[in-house]
Structure 1
Amino acid sequence: MPFASETQVNAILKPHFGTLVDLVQTAHTDFRSSVLAASLQAPRVRANFIWNQFLFHAKARFEGSSDISVDSRRHWQGLMVGSAFFIRMKKGTAKLLSRNYPTQAALAFNDANVDLFEGTPRLELIYTLDELETGIDRIVLAQRHLNRIVWAIDLLDSAEDHGQTVFPLPIVPNGDSPATRVLKPKKAKTASKKQGTDDAGA
């Protein structure tokens, strides 16, 4: 399977960055407004709920669109962008890695050397939660290979300033993760305050 380049992804998907951000945030708001939020017993329940709502809203948002559609491919449901790439939405870790039970299918999805969809590159739309797990901290579009993020586009920054915010993630010989090395730290508001094949995951 060929890798998708950040240049190609920006050229095709940049007009939809704001929509992708809105879909993730709306799905998270649905969870916060649900009875599950107050009685949550396991993080997987929240991840599954947000994943479900993302697909629900995406179907309505892209109905009749010739560019993007909600599609099922073998074990996975996600967004099919023309014939260019397939995107699945997942909750991610601080390193921007989605978590899956390590079935053969789950491992294959994150192995760019395995061709699952007749040459169509696979991307992940990753969201992370803040420290209190009450709000969304980051939303990125990422190309992953095995346990490494090849590159990631910060969609929150792109949606706000409509500019390209691409973060290439080179391999650097130190102990830091790619996400730690590349993603921009949050800006302090004032000088005195520092601041399985289950698609949803945990």
Structure 2
Amino acid sequence: MTHPKIEVVKSALHRIEPVLRTAITSGWEDWRGSKLSHWRRRGRANYVWEQMAHYAAVALEGVPGVSVVVKHESYHFLVDGTVAFRLKKSDGGGLTRNYPTQEALAFHDPQLPLTGVAAQQRVEVTYCLNPNETDIADILVVGRAGGAILWTYSLIDNDSVSSLPAAQPDAPLQPMPAVKSTGLVRLKGRKTNDDKAGESGES
């Protein structure tokens, strides 16, 4: 396996971008409507993760070329046998913070095998919150090499690519399925303080 290449990832994920945006924003809206504001950040992130992963898995079931692998209590989504991604929470730059389990280490290391996830490109699709943690600020696709971020691009701001000298513009996105507005705003370079957590939760 090689490090993820943005052109390959963008091409594979382009057709399901509306599904990913809807799944993530719906998971967040479920949290906002849950009346569980006394929960800590880790609990909140776990709640949102469970919801958005479920929505994505249900919406992508039966989509040609897309499969869902559930292993080690986590969801891995495979597209065209080439790109594998998982849904996570990140800081404003796209960095997630997992406990260093073997699974988490293997996902970002092209030299380590990831049993059951036979894809050449492994990336994360993450949401990051605004500074007050009251709403989603951005949804990013993140390519990494170990602990280093190689590149990111936004599923909200289609012209946003970081850590690359130049990026080719995408074709226009397909209309997004109806979903309640969350006032998504692109806040570049803004980060939040996150608790560390396990494979399915905070960051």
Map of 1:193 onto structure 2: none
Cα separation, 2, equivalents of 1:184 and 1:126? 15
**Structure 2 unaligned blocks of 5 or more:** 166-185, 190-196
**Structure 1 unaligned blocks of 5 or more:** 159-163, 171-182, 187-195
Map of 1:31 onto structure 2: 31
State the one-letter code of the partner of 1:134.
T
| Structure 1 range deviating more: 109-118 or 130-139 | 109-118
Cα separation, 1, equivalents of 2:28 and 2:102? 29
* Post-superposition CA distance 1:56-87 (Å, at most 9, x none): 11122112211323322456313121311111
* Post-superposition CA distance 1:129-160 (Å, at most 9, x none): 001101001111111111211111111112xx
| Structure of greater Rg | 1
Cα separation, 2, equivalents of 1:4 and 1:102? 20
- TM-score between the two structures when normalised by the length of structure 2: 0.76
Map of 2:107 onto structure 1: 109
Q: Secondary structure at the match of 1:153?
A: strand
8 Å contact kept, 2:4–2:144: no
State the one-letter code of the partner of 2:5.
S
Q: Secondary structure at the match of 2:156?
A: helix
| Structure 1 range deviating more: 75-84 or 17-26 | 75-84
Q: Secondary structure at the match of 2:12?
A: helix
Cα separation, 2, equivalents of 1:75 and 1:51? 12
* Post-superposition CA distance 1:18-72 (Å, at most 9, x none): 2211111111001111132x222x2111111111001211122112211323322
8 Å contact kept, 1:58–1:70: no
The verdict on how the C-alpha distance between 1:69 and 1:104 changes in structure 2, with shifts beyond 3 A counting, is closer
The verdict on how the C-alpha distance between 1:24 and 1:86 changes in structure 2, with shifts beyond 3 A counting, is same
8 Å contact kept, 2:137–2:187: no
Percent identity of paired positions between Structure 1 and Structure 2: 30
Map of 1:150 onto structure 2: 150
Map of 2:192 onto structure 1: none
Choose between structure 1 and 2: higher helix proportion: 1
Match of 1:60 among 58, 61, 74: 58
Q: Secondary structure at the match of 1:93?
A: coil
Shift of 1:2: 1.7
Cα separation, 1, equivalents of 2:56 and 2:103? 24
Q: Secondary structure at the match of 2:157?
A: helix
Q: Secondary structure at the match of 1:157?
A: coil
Q: Secondary structure at the match of 1:113?
A: coil
| Structure 1 range deviating more: 91-100 or 61-70 | 61-70
